[in-house]
């Protein structure tokens, strides 16, 4: 790209409020060094310092044991955390089991969620640790595990303020997650309803850099988009040909990388793929249909992801404050899969 075009892009980004590369800062504080309003309330980075000071070292150790052996758990645990926070907030309700199979984890979008054993292993270890028994919420454990799982595979790190309480309610009927088939207008509303903005949408979509889906979710898009045996015209034709070789019309199980060529590395390559019209889902491709999200994608492509790690960290901190329970709300579960 010519220098004048690059400068024009940077000016446009400044006008729409999309950040390009800046030095790392503290997501819990604003540009003047004052505490971010979204980081106030009852959450605190040192919440367990006097009660369970070993917490973060235990979470790191257990998470490393699992993710180092099975790196794909990083994407799974990050997805679990996102799915938890978007239904009843970050309260660990996705972890609850129901004998009637009517909890959040029983909803169709959550049937493929995995990694519960990692959260359970952390909880068990904490319950055996002096001072930590009955102290740390499963909601906080999930928030830390998601962060540390990403770190194990070389992804960005972010601070996790703590003090969330566990929810007692988990209903399949309440699961209404952002859809992979949604357009950008719908996705922006989904995020706005949770106190997140357009930048958070496009930044957190970047987690698809380590995502894996299946042929079942894209078959209509590549084989029969309008019922006439066609494919979505928003897709790169060469990419469609590649996908058709992997996904036959009746195949619903074969896995498909969401960031082909870089699916095992947490980086900004996802934005290159989307810019080339190779986004796997409609929800990826539609990010090019909005000026804010499209400009962010262009910025990451041009700067080779100069700000992505910091931006992702900032948005993950914001996500962790969505509709949380604190104080005397909820409970501290003894076992993450069951209310006390």
Catalytic residues: 83
Whether 99 has a binding-site annotation, put simply, is no
How far is Cα 159 from Cα 148, in angstroms, rounded to an integer? Answer: 10
Q: Are 145 and 59 in contact (CB under 8 A)?
A: yes
Give 185-192 contacts, CB < 8 A, sequence gap 24+.
185/290, 187/283, 187/286, 188/290, 190/86
**Please, are residues 289 and 311 in contact by the beta-carbon 8 Å criterion?**
no
Tell me whether residue 237 is annotated as binding: no
Q: What is the β-pairing status of strands 255-257 and 212-214?
A: antiparallel
The answer to whether 209 is annotated as binding is yes
The answer to whether 38 touches 321, Cβ cutoff 8 Å, is: yes
Is the Cβ–Cβ distance between 95 and 116 less than 8 Å? yes
**Contact in structure between 133 and 123 (CB atoms under 8 Å):** no
The answer to whether 208 is a known ligand-binding residue is yes
Query: Is 93 part of any known ligand binding site?
Result: yes
Among residues 175, 149, 160, the alpha carbon closest in space to that of 93 is found at 175
89 is in an annotated binding site: yes
Q: Is 330 annotated as a binding residue?
A: no
- Beta bridge partners of residue 214, listed in sequence order: 255
Binding residues: 84, 87, 89, 91, 93, 104, 178, 208-209, 259, 267
Binding residues for heme b: 208
Binding residues for substrate: 178
Binding residues for Ca(2+): 84, 87, 89, 91, 93, 104, 209, 259, 267
């Amino acid at each position: 790209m010519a220098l004048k075009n690059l400068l024009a892009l940077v000016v446009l980004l400044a006008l729409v409020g999309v950040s390009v590369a800046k030095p790392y800062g503290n997501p819990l504080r604003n540009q003047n060094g004052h505490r971010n309003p979204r980081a106030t309330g009852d959450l605190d980075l040192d919440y367990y310092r006097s009660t369970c000071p070993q917490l973060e070292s235990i979470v790191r150790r257990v998470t490393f044991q699992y993710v180092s052996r099975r790196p794909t758990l990083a994407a799974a645990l990050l997805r679990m955390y996102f799915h938890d926070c978007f239904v009843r907030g970050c309260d660990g309700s996705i972890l609850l089991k129901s004998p009637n199979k009517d909890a959040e984890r029983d909803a169709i979008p959550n049937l493929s969620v995995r990694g519960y054993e990692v959260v359970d292993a952390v909880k068990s270890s904490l319950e055996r640790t002096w001072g930590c028994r009955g102290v740390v919420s499963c909601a906080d454990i999930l928030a830390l595990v998601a962060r540390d799982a990403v770190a194990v595979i070389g992804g960005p790190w972010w601070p996790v303020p703590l003090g969330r309480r566990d929810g007692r309610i988990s209903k399949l009927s309440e699961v209404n997650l952002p859809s992979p088939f949604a357009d950008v207008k719908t996705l922006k509303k989904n995020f706005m309803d949770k106190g997140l903005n357009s930048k958070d949408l496009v930044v957190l979509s970047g987690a698809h850099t380590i995502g894996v889906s299946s042929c079942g979710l894209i078959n209509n898009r590549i084989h029969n988009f309008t019922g006439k045996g066609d494919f979505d015209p928003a897709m790169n034709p060469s990419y469609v040909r590649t996908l058709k070789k992997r996904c036959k019309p009746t195949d619903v199980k074969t896995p498909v990388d969401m960031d082909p060529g870089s699916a095992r590395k947490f980086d900004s390559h996802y934005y290159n793929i989307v810019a080339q019209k190779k986004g796997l889902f409609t929800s990826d491709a539609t990010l090019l249909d909005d000026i804010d999200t499209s400009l962010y994608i262009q910025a990451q492509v041009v700067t080779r992801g100069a700000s992505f790690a910091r931006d992702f960290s900032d948005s993950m901190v914001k996500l962790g404050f969505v509709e949380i329970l604190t104080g005397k709300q909820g409970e501290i579960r003894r076992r993450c899969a069951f209310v006390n």
